[in-house]
Structure 1
Amino acid sequence: MAAQTESPLVGEDAGPRAPGHQRRTLILVAVLLAVFVVPTSISGTGVALPYIGSDLDAGLVPLQWVVNAFNVAFACSTLAWGSIADIIGRVRAFALGATIYAAASLVSVLAGNVILLDVARALAGIGGAAIFSGGTALLSTVFEGPARGRVFALFGTVAGIGVSFGPSLSGALIESAGWRWVFAVHVIVLAVVLLAVPTMRRAVQETRTQGARIDILGSALFVLAMLLLTTGIAQGPQWGWTGPGVLGLFAGTVVVLAIFAAVEKRKEHPMLDLSIVTNRRFMAICLVPVAGSFGFVTMLTYLPSYLTAAGGYPSGAAGAIMLMLTAPMLVLPLVTAKLVAKGVSAIGIIHLSLALLVVGAVGLELFEPDINLGLVALPMVITGTGYALAAGLVDGQALALVAPERAGMAAGFLNTMRLGSEAVAVAVYGSLLATVINGRTRDGIAGYPGAGDPATVAGTVASGNISGPAGQVAETQRADFTDLLVHAYDGAFHTVLWVLGGICLVLLVLVVALLSGREGGRAAAS
């Protein structure tokens, strides 16, 4: 408690008076419903791409942007929405985000061409960022003490379930009603959420940043930096990681971020108060979901492709196998909240979660195309446990370090770290996988006339599609060519796993180092 009093990040004001129990429950349900929609869209929309492509006669690039437009818009605008929520109010920001998301989803339902669908998905990403930033800050405003820990445990559970089961839910909707219903359900759920907004406005007395204006220049610079970074990662396999185009994009990212920092230092009411970033404890906690992005979210995204492409499992069986990875999300966030409420060290749990992500990444190296699933069940559960332990813990721990009037900014930064790192981690995984596959197959492909450009083949195989490139060669060579691609895919998968494990290990060391200093030193540094 003394450490928090010293820190300039923690205000002396205890915050607004909390609403009654029934209204708090209504606010919690509304926020969780909206939060559930966003991650299901992130993980589940990819299932619909083949059906969208067929129905709208879409090419590969615009079809990929059905997913990419949402992810990039989400990652780019989350930080801005956190600051906006502090200025206009958390309820208003949350409601505006839900409205934008619902309207964009309705356009997605009605879209007659893929370009309009791409635009709608980008708008949905902007709305989703407001839901997460406004919703997180709103819960931090309404709940305090042990209740806040339990609420953020539920928040983490719901978000994790949405990410984990989004593909299954989307698949069921597509099979029963068609791909448009993937987006129609979002409209229905968010319409229900918006019915609760009038009650939320009456119930919540918010602390806002007085006299502040929206930081348009800072927001634009941050969005530009994120676009340059994600484009550089995505184009690495095609342009070459050391080519002038990719290096130029990365250099541009550094330059724009430096300009962004300089601009924010001079702002009276910046989008991001840099004193938050320089607080060691807050920054350490914000790095925890980054490790989860590299250690867990990448596996959630790409392991099903490995199981179907290299392992030969049907999609239904691959989905069932993935339950070993996702099942811990159903129970552990709430268990963690109860343990912390009983006095178990939250920091100790965070350390354990990071260590388990490292161990899980190493254990997943056991995977082979013909592996006995009993051997990989334990590392899958360990990886899922590592992610689930901290899923609902970091939000409450991070926002407890900031003053109430900065909760939106802090939530925006935390969710930018979480969701931005997910977009970056998934892009890094896909790009590295394609690069390694290309290196392993470039020479061998020359012996198979008609196979096509090695880089194109590598990109297709990295997406989990081996049958497509295999179908381009003569039938007499198809079996051998398939073996070549499967072995290249398998080898690349293991190489990338070592990289991911190394990243998680570095983050573990960094978090431990940041949390090991004295509180007084951190306060002074801030």
Structure 2
Amino acid sequence: MSQNQTQSSGMLLFAILLAVFVVPSSISGTAIALPSISADMDASLSTLQWVVNAFNLMFACFTLFWGTLADSYGRKKAFLLGAGIYTAASVASMLAPNALFLDVARAFAGIGGAAIFSCGSAILIAQFEGSKRTQAFAFFGTTAGIGITLGPTISGFILDFINWRAIFAVHAVVLTMVLLLATAIPKDAVSSKKFSFDTAGTVLFIASLMLFMLTLVQGAQWGWTNAKTLLLLATSIVFAIGFYLYELRIDNPMLNFDLLKNRTFVGLILIPVVASVIFVTLLTYYPSYLTGVMQLTPSKAGLMMISLTLPVLFCPILAGKIVSRGISARLVLFISLVSFIAGGIILAVTSQPGSELWSLAIPLLLIGIGMGLSAGLVDGVALSSVDPSQAGMAAGLLNTLRLGSEALAVALYASLLTSYLTDSLPSLFAQFHPSASQMSDWVSAIASGNLATPLKDITDSNLLTAIINQYHDAFIYVLNILNVATVALCFYIAWLLLNKHRAEQGISANENS
């Protein structure tokens, strides 16, 4: 490779990684700004939640759309279009006059973020081969991990020194740089056939996923057996069935279901689901356990969480180097699955009120290693297992499954924890004869991690200890369910990958004979 080609490849990779950094840092960093946004705009709680939810919802809905568009329209064009949408949405977020306007702007940012991940992955597949591809996806995973880890810290500093609007201004500036650097991305060849996009399939898919995500978000507020929740779920299922039946009938489907016949691909794209179940849920909710049950200050809880997030910074690069030296990528991924299982089980065993922090740091580190070893590596291996002409569609499916499973896992955790506490806490508080509204307020506060809230109304020296024990029991109950799901998924993934591997060996042996 000539020096000019090397420089061009480096610039291409840098442009994509810069964009990739913005997306997860926006997801993890925007939440910290919600109190400031609320104070500035006097927004209601439900409206405020959609500042984050609108982004996640649109990201999940449009990843497959962008992947398919990239294969048909051109990866570079689709990437630039998505980055442009994200840039404009960031400017709109910065200038938002009210919370509703901000919600809409964040929804468009989610659409652009989906393009960055789907089309960025497809570009890397097209432009890099062999060990270079492995290294590129290792950087991809590391950058996403840095964004997740540093997003809240960066946003916190911006909030302290400027204001919440400056957070979105930074996103706009960085993405403008991406658009300028993206000239290094070469034009990719697309099919000479007349472009024909699966509009009906796209609408059915987005409608189905959007309604399902709305069910998860609103179900916690309305109640899971509420008629409106059940209607949303039923409508989502109807659209999903319609999407499946329609895609089987057309020549240019948004999702070619032959992809799902590829057992290697299916096994690999389920690995991010495992990460969602055990890593993302802890990333989201374990700080509440640390401040509530372990009675750590927020700053100490943040330092403790480094045990979970630090491996995501260096393990993707480590995995890339290991694979480039001849170690099987599949073996590294199996090690990541074992690390997920071991970390979750050890955390359930060692977690107790008053536990030594080092005993909790070890399982968190193991779970973080599982995430770090698989992040980035699994994308490259999974997309390499499909036909290059379907790389965009495959990348879209991978990222749709990744973000969709994250939303589902986080909603499941919150639902299980709240349900457990709703059943167990009333008997604890019955002796104090609270009103129904007061009981509801206490349970809601404790479920959100504010364990000391009832102490404002009750003077009982033993009450906090009892509440801590109840919250701990609820956490262990949920963690055990997550561990069961993790183990089941890991065994299913191993079955898919090992059986496929044996079949390939059998074919090879027959050919040699």
> Which deviates more, 38-47 or 425-434?
425-434
- Could you list the per-position Cα deviations for residues 364-423 of structure 1 after superposition, in whole angstroms to 9, with x for gaps in the alignment? 222234221011111011110111111121111111122222111111011111112112
Deviation at 1:258, TM superposition (A): 1.8
Q: What residue is the counterpart of 1:218 in the other structure?
A: 201
Q: What residue is the counterpart of 1:285 in the other structure?
A: 268
**Do residues 513 (structure 1) and 498 (structure 2) align?**
no
CA-based RMSD: 2.2
Q: What residue is the counterpart of 1:341 in the other structure?
A: 324
Alpha-carbon spacing, 1:470–1:216, altered in 2? closer, same or farther (3 Å): farther
Which amino acid is 2:362 matched to? L
**Do residues 111 (structure 1) and 96 (structure 2) align?**
yes
- Could you list the per-position Cα deviations for residues 133-187 of structure 1 after superposition, in whole angstroms to 9, with x for gaps in the alignment? 1111111111111100010011001101111221122112211222222211101
**Do residues 149 (structure 1) and 131 (structure 2) align?**
no
**C-alpha distance in 1, partners of 2:360/2:56?**
30
Deviation at 1:199, TM superposition (A): 3.5
Q: TM-score, with normalisation over the residues of structure 1?
A: 0.90
Contact 1:209 1:405 in 2 (8 A): no
Match of residue 323, structure 1, among 283, 288, 306 = 306
**Do residues 388 (structure 1) and 356 (structure 2) align?**
no
Deviation at 1:244, TM superposition (A): 4.7
Q: What residue is the counterpart of 2:507 in the other structure?
A: none
SS in 2 for 1:464: coil
Q: What residue is the counterpart of 1:205 in the other structure?
A: 188
**C-alpha distance in 1, partners of 2:307/2:160?**
24
Which amino acid is 2:119 matched to? G
Contact 1:218 1:260 in 2 (8 A): yes
SS in 1 for 2:425: helix
Alpha-carbon spacing, 1:463–1:89, altered in 2? closer, same or farther (3 Å): farther
SS in 2 for 1:476: coil
Q: Report the count of equivalent residues.
A: 500
Matches within 5 A, 1:136-215: 136-200=121-185, 203-208=186-191, 210-215=193-198
Contact 1:86 1:405 in 2 (8 A): yes
Alpha-carbon spacing, 1:391–1:208, altered in 2? closer, same or farther (3 Å): farther
Q: What residue is the counterpart of 2:508 in the other structure?
A: none
- Could you list the per-position Cα deviations for residues 17-51 of structure 1 after superposition, in whole angstroms to 9, with x for gaps in the alignment? xx921111111000000000000111111111111
Deviation at 1:237, TM superposition (A): 4.3
**Do residues 48 (structure 1) and 33 (structure 2) align?**
yes
- Gap runs ≥5 in structure 1: 1-18
- Could you list the per-position Cα deviations for residues 92-138 of structure 1 after superposition, in whole angstroms to 9, with x for gaps in the alignment? 11111111111111111111211111111111111100111111111
**C-alpha distance in 2, partners of 1:266/1:259?**
11
**Do residues 378 (structure 1) and 374 (structure 2) align?**
no
Matches within 5 A, 1:275-314: 275-314=258-297
Which amino acid is 2:405 matched to? S
SS in 1 for 2:437: coil
Contact 2:73 2:195 in 1 (8 A): no
Contact 2:72 2:190 in 1 (8 A): no
Q: What residue is the counterpart of 1:367 in the other structure?
A: 351
Deviation at 1:303, TM superposition (A): 1.1
Which amino acid is 1:281 matched to? T
Q: What residue is the counterpart of 2:238 in the other structure?
A: 255
> Which deviates more, 244-253 or 403-412?
244-253
Alpha-carbon spacing, 1:234–1:341, altered in 2? closer, same or farther (3 Å): same
**C-alpha distance in 1, partners of 2:192/2:337?**
35
Deviation at 1:430, TM superposition (A): 1.6
Alpha-carbon spacing, 1:37–1:208, altered in 2? closer, same or farther (3 Å): farther
**Do residues 32 (structure 1) and 17 (structure 2) align?**
yes
**C-alpha distance in 2, partners of 1:124/1:307?**
32
Matches within 5 A, 1:217-256: 217-242=200-225, 244-256=227-239
**C-alpha distance in 1, partners of 2:422/2:463?**
14
Contact 1:350 1:389 in 2 (8 A): yes
Alpha-carbon spacing, 1:458–1:476, altered in 2? closer, same or farther (3 Å): closer
Match of residue 86, structure 2, among 97, 101, 120 = 101
Q: TM-score, with normalisation over the residues of structure 2?
A: 0.92
Which amino acid is 2:489 matched to? L
Q: What residue is the counterpart of 1:13 in the other structure?
A: none
Contact 1:437 1:489 in 2 (8 A): yes
Match of residue 491, structure 1, among 466, 470, 473 = 473
- Gap runs ≥5 in structure 2: 505-513
**C-alpha distance in 2, partners of 1:359/1:239?**
36
**C-alpha distance in 2, partners of 1:35/1:283?**
24
**C-alpha distance in 2, partners of 1:407/1:509?**
26
Q: What residue is the counterpart of 2:509 in the other structure?
A: none
